[in-house]
Structure 1
């Protein structure tokens, strides 16, 4: 925020972008220091570069806590202890990123077709072009 905690955000955050609103909401949750985090697309409204920074912070904050993370972006789920892949309300795969990639199932297909462009290697390549 331009003026930090002194920034006038307007009524109900009307002067904030969606990404800024999302970050403020996330900061409020973190300040409460909960034992359990439930994050539903917590970084959906921020760009991939900002998301990477947020994810690094969240990884540290969520260490030794229970977290349920609902996400579509690879960077959000790749380092999870357990990933549950659902399709039409049913669990179809479960495991770590590496084990799911080794299974070459639905998760691997999603990764290879939709998520690869969000990888840091891709972002680095894209920045150099």
Structure 2
């Protein structure tokens, strides 16, 4: 028999910026919708927001299945264009598919004025 170790709730994406957002239970989530995960642990009944955004893909019996989308703080502001970090990451993967013998092992993103500060060279 499995013991309960955590209790999960979900904040609909439209409410994640609120101080006291609406939360829904696992059976109330909707397929295709995005949510932030809230976990209550059995050790001391600590309840915390994970800041993980997931998209519900279906149900396994009564339990929602999902795919990970992003973290709530992973929004890049590139020249006033706000993009989730995952979009930049996917674009980089697609762009590098045609690069021969070059492997990207790590990267960072920043606006051009930050590059100028770190390299001491003016940005064209």
TM-score (norm 2): 0.28
Report which of the two has the higher share of strand: 2
TM-score (norm 1): 0.27
Larger-Rg structure: 2
